[in-house]
């Protein structure tokens, strides 16, 4: 599952890397809108993520019918959400201008959103299928499908961003089209595999029939997950907007540093999802010993990863940042200077970010999502966003202050969520 998450973030990294070599304004545009796009997407992904602990718990008690029911209704809810939000992505340029972004960046950002928004629907269905297969511990196909999508994305990006192999030069639009093609490709792989390898669940037989009881259960577990993810991703999106107020160079450096930090975060996200499955199965059997051991093992592995990535960020910042910038770009030195400082701060919040995402994975495994939602929203928006603004603008620390505010919000979330799990659930 860690490998799948790393492959997934590699797809996004490819977009940032290639657009960074294509044009600094294009890089700044995707740095601005990618977190916003992901924010819209991740709210609907709450239903898909909610499927994972429910399927894991049902599989732990060998309830095949419940596996089928919750997966189907997860698909229903995800499809409904995707159809509802696609229109929001089609007219994004006026919104970016209204929030004070540069005109050139707003134009390119609006173009990217108009094309990439169509891919939200297949991306959400992919999320449900990944949750379903992962909960059944069929994780290898998820990794294979994601790696195949990554390779395809490189070739399509190379063709459509730069206009190679006779394709039109489309820049950010090319990157958006490549993403949509990748989502559709990954979806085909996962659906075909699920039909072939898990025929006992008959996932798509009579798919048109609603199951209101199962839908209600998925909805009530999934919507708090979506709001929790919205709170966290929205925190990063608002910091991107704040960086845009500082300037194009700051926004481009922020996008690169955040992309690098996101790569290492995927290790913890994969471990978090793995512990959701293990905790879900143990919780379904009321096996407190296995529940505690699974969570402790996941936390140890996450801590080791934090130590390694902090060392890399502090020892090789210029190498990492420089890989995303064309050596001949006149703004290269400025972006390197800002990005190096931001990457050092990313090393700081690696630990707190890992702590909060691991706690969320453990809590989802025991199907506890509503109180964690409130804790996360408080930490990110009542603490994190004001801290970022005050430190960045009121105290004049600019990008450094914005990133320090991020760390404070994530730290508060990590402490509250870990306390809830270990004081409430680890003793069942």
Q: Which residues of 260-277 are buried (b: 16+ CB within 10 A; e: fewer)?
A: bbbbbbbbbbbbbbbbbb
Q: Could you identify the residue written with the tokens 């969570």?
A: 295
- Is the model's pLDDT at 8 over the cut of 80? no
Lowest-pLDDT range, 11-15, 135-139, 208-212, 337-341? 11-15
According to the model, what pLDDT value does residue 379 have? 93
The pLDDT of 7-17, averaged and rounded, is 71
Sequence-distant (6+) residues with CB within 8 A of 271 are 1, 2, 298, 301, 302, 305, 358, 361
- Is the model's pLDDT at 412 over the cut of 90? yes
pTM for the model? 0.79
Express each pLDDT in 356-372 by its tens digit: 999 999 998 888 989 99
Are 170 and 179 in contact, with CB atoms under 8 Å apart?
no
Q: Could you identify the residue written with the tokens 């704040």?
A: 242
- Is the model's pLDDT at 427 over the cut of 70? no
According to the model, what pLDDT value does residue 419 have? 93
Confidence of residue 234 (pLDDT cuts 50, 70, 90): confident
Express each pLDDT in 70-103 by its tens digit: 999 999 999 999 999 999 888 888 888 887 777 8
Task: Report the sign of the C-alpha dihedral through residues 270, 214, 65, 44, in that order.
Answer: negative
3-state DSSP call for residue 100? coil
Express each pLDDT in 23-63 by its tens digit: 778 877 877 787 788 778 888 888 988 888 888 888 877 77
What span, in angstroms and rounded, lies between the C-alpha atoms of 370 and 365?
Answer: 13
Express each pLDDT in 115-167 by its tens digit: 888 888 998 999 899 989 988 888 889 889 988 988 998 999 899 989 899 88
According to the model, what pLDDT value does residue 3 have? 67
DSSP character string of 368-417:
--HHHHHHHHIIIIIIIHHHHHIIIIIS--HHHHHHHHHHHHHHHHHHHH
Tokens of 269: 């996200």
DSSP character string of 280-348:
HHHHHTT-HHHHHHHHHHHHHHHHHHHHHHHHHHHHSHHHHHHTTS-TT-TTHHHHHHHHHHHHHHHHH
Are 326 and 333 in contact, with CB atoms under 8 Å apart?
no
User: Quick one: what percent of the chain has pLDDT higher than 90?
Assistant: 26
According to the model, what pLDDT value does residue 1 have? 63
Q: What are phi and psi of 169, to 5 degrees?
A: -85, 105
The pLDDT of 410-428, averaged and rounded, is 87
Confidence of residue 236 (pLDDT cuts 50, 70, 90): confident
Are 109 and 96 in contact, with CB atoms under 8 Å apart?
yes
Are 151 and 12 in contact, with CB atoms under 8 Å apart?
no
Express each pLDDT in 96-122 by its tens digit: 888 777 788 888 888 888 888 888 899
DSSP character string of 147-173:
HHHHHHHHHHHHHHHHT-TT----THH
Structural domain boundaries in the chain: 2-425
Lowest-pLDDT range, 6-20, 155-169, 235-249, 368-382? 6-20
């Amino acid at each position: 599952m860690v490998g799948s998450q790393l492959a997934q973030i590699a797809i996004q990294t490819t977009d940032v890397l290639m657009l960074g070599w294509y044009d600094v304004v294009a890089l700044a545009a995707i740095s601005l809108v990618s977190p916003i796009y992901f924010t819209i997407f991740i709210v609907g992904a709450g239903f898909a993520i909610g499927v994972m602990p429910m399927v894991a718990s049902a599989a732990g008690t060998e309830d095949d019918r419940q596996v089928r029911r919750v997966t189907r209704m997860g698909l229903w809810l995800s499809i409904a959400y995707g159809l509802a939000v696609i229109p929001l992505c089609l007219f994004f340029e006026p919104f970016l201008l209204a929030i004070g972004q540069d005109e050139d960046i707003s134009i390119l950002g609006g173009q990217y959103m108009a094309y990439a928004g169509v891919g939200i629907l297949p991306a959400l269905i992919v999320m449900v299928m990944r949750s379903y297969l992962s909960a059944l511990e069929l994780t290898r196909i998820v990794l294979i499908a994601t790696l195949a999508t990554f390779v395809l994305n490189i070739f399509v990006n190379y063709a459509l961003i730069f206009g190679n192999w006779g394709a039109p030069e489309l820049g950010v639009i090319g990157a958006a089209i490549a993403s949509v093609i990748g989502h559709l490709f990954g979806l085909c792989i996962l659906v075909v595999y699920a039909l072939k390898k898990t025929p006992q669940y008959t996932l798509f037989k009579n798919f048109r029939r609603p199951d209101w009881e199962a839908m209600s259960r998925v909805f009530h577990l999934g919507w708090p997950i979506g709001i929790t993810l919205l709170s966290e991703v929205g925190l990063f999106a608002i910091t991107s907007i704040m960086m845009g107020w500082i300037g194009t160079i700051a926004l481009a450096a922020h996008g690169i540093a955040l992309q690098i930090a996101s790569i290492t975060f995927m290790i913890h996200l994969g471990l978090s999802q793995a512990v959701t499955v293990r905790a879900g199965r143990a919780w379904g059997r009321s096996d407190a010993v296995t529940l505690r051991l699974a969570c402790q093992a996941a936390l140890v592995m996450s801590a080791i990863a934090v130590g390694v990535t902090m060392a890399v960020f502090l020892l090789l910042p210029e190498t990492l940042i420089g890989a995303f910038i064309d050596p001949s770009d006149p703004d290269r030195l400025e972006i390197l200077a800002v990005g190096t400082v931001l990457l050092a701060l990313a090393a700081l919040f690696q630990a707190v970010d890992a702590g909060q995402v691991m706690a969320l994975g453990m809590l989802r495994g025991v199907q506890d999502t509503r109180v964690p939602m409130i804790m996360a929203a408080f930490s990110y928006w009542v603490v994190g966003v004001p801290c970022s603004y005050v430190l960045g603008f009121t105290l004049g620390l600019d990008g450094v202050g914005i990133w320090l505010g991020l760390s404070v919000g994530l730290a508060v979330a990590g402490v509250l969520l870990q306390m809830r799990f270990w004081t409430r659930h680890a003793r069942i």
